[in-house]
Copies of this chain bind each other. A is one copy, B any other.
Amino acid sequence: MTRTIQKTATPYHFHFPAGATIVTCCSRGRSNALAVAWHTAISGQPPLYAVSIAPRRFSHELIQESGEFVVNFMPLKSAELVAMVGRTSGRNIDKFKEFGITTTEGTVVKTPVLTDAMAAYECKVVATHPAGDHDLFVGEIVAIHWETDAYIPDEGLDIDRYKPLVYLSHDRYATCSSPFYPIRKR
């Protein structure tokens, strides 16, 4: 094995897979859906979730105006939808109409939740941190939706029954293998 070491991080590529999400947002009657790979949970209590979105994005404007967003965790079967959503801008087209995206209403926020998501977090923005060429929106999770059959209680995602979509880089995607326990359960 040879090792490459680069003292500059530019060009900067994906070195690791990330869960494929679609972030939805809505302000003053305008809705949008954005493919987002830069996202993570950051606090358990209160439950906080962060998404990183460039200011040039139409979704950035909507989230800033409304102070809310929904993170939709997408399944393997939605791969084509995620890829298409990632290639287009809501400034030019209505992605919901164009791609036949079905939604349900948020229960706490006014932002639509994707019917095809395996799970979705309704979030209210509690902080916005400028971060280089992006802004990090920190949302408090105010409601959680999930496909009941896709999860094993006290265990998590039932990957053998319900395949998540994982983003690699440059329009490449994958899903997950069967789960395993590297060491004996406690």
Contacts and interface: CB of A to CB of B under 8 A. Distances in A.
Given A4-B145, A174-B180, A129 B129 contact: yes
A127 interface: yes
Contact of A16 (B1, B73, B148): B73
A157 to B, nearest CB: 6
Interface stretch (A22-30, A57-65, A163-171): A163-171
Given A3-B146, A131-B48, A180 B173 contact: yes
Contacts of A175: 176-177
A45 interface: yes
Interface of A: 1-10, 12-19, 21, 38-48, 50, 52, 73, 79-80, 82-84, 87, 107-108, 118-119, 121, 127, 129, 131-134, 136, 138, 141-149, 151, 154-157, 159, 164, 166, 168-183, 185-186
Contacts of A16: 19, 21, 73, 118-119, 157, 164
A182 B83 contact: yes
B170 A179 contact: no
- 8 closest pairs, A vs B, by CB? A43-B132, A156-B169, A9-B47, A15-B119, A79-B182, A9-B141, A42-B52, A40-B40
B164 A17 contact: yes
A87 B185 CA distance: 11
B177 A174 contact: yes
Contacts of A10: 45, 47
Given A141-B12, A164-B17, A134 B180 contact: no
A154 B177 contact: no
Contacts of A169: 155-157
Contact of A157 (B17, B82, B149, B151): B17
Given A133-B43, A172-B156, A5 B143 contact: yes
